[in-house]
Amino acid sequence: MNGKIILLAIILIIFGLGISEVSAMSDAETTANNILNTDNGDSDTLIVYFSRTGENYNVGNVEVGNTAMLASYIKEYLKCDSFEIVPMDKYPENYDECTELASKEKEDNARPKIDGKIDNFDSYKTVFIGYPIWWGDLPMIMYTFLEEYDLDGKTVIPFNTHEGSGNAGTYDTIKEKLPSANVNTQGLALDGKTARSEDGKQQTIDWLKQLGY
């Protein structure tokens, strides 16, 4: 009987620790969601970001993606507007299935459709563009965005999350793709775990200060 009581106590302790970890992460994600869903009014700066939820490499299952976390730090600091790139056809929650689809999209040079449009895009002077690195490149849906919207004359500032590849040369790719935009290639690239941490938030703020904000 004593053995069963001890075993039950251990299970309750483990379960309790798990709940506290989930709650802490949920709080951080809730904060990020609230920031990203806040309308800041008349700003001439826009954050456009693509970020995947579900099972992510090295961070587990998430309700707010790694890149979205960075977007929330930028938006909170700048008090600007944001637009999430949501695919018309949602990517699989399973990590392996998603990477397989992403590989096929790259191989096919696909242009996945975006659900929704950005209102008054012409009114923005500066556009921060955020995304994860997929197969050493921008996700193909980011090419959809770059080709559907006129960024000529705008200041474009990229940022991204990754799992070891840095920016994978994508800042130069964006610059080549947008020859008539002012693309700042001094972007921010953080790995997923860092992006979800207080250190990642501080690194984002320090980067924005280096840019002159």
The residue behind tokens 């004593």 is 2
H or E segment to which residue 8 belongs? helix 2-36
State pLDDT tens for residues 28-57.
999 999 999 998 878 999 999 999 999 999
Task: Give the residue among 51, 60, 46 at the shortest CA–CA distance from 32.
Answer: 51
pLDDT for residue 157 is more than 50: yes
Calculate mean pLDDT across residues 11-33: 55
Q: What is the pLDDT of residue 41?
A: 76
Q: Where are the beta strands (DSSP E) in the chain?
A: 45-49, 54-56, 60-62, 81-84, 126-132, 155-162, 182-183, 188-191
- Does the residue 133 lie in any domain? yes
Predicted local confidence at residue 40, as pLDDT:
83
Domain that holds residue 157: 28-210
**Number of domains the chain contains:** 1
Residue 7 lies in a domain: no
- The C-alpha angle with vertex 58 and arms to 75 and 138, in degrees rounded to 5, equals 55
**Per-residue b/e over 184-212, b at no fewer than 16 CB within 10 Å?**
beebbbbbbbbbbeeebbebbeebbeeee
Tell me which H or E stretch contains 17. helix 2-36
Is 1 a member of any domain? no
Q: Is there a domain that residue 203 lies in?
A: yes
Quick check: is 165 in a domain? yes
Range 61-82 average pLDDT: 97
pLDDT band, residue 193 (cuts 50/70/90): very high
What's the chain's average pLDDT?
90
CA proximity to 134, closest of 192, 177, 47: 192
Rounded mean pLDDT, 59-75: 96
Sign of the Cα pseudo-torsion (211, 159, 49, 145, in order) = positive
Query: Is pLDDT above 70 for 7?
Result: no
Report the pLDDT averaged over residues 76-91: 97
Q: How confident is the model at residue 26 (pLDDT cuts 50, 70, 90)?
A: low
Residue 15 lies in a domain: no
Q: Is residue 11 part of a domain?
A: no
| pLDDT > 70: percent of the chain | 88
Residue 16 in domain: no
The enclosing domain of 103 has a CATH number of: 3.40.50.360
CA distance linking residue 196 with residue 1, whole number of Å:
44
What's the pTM value of the predicted model, to 2 decimals? 0.86
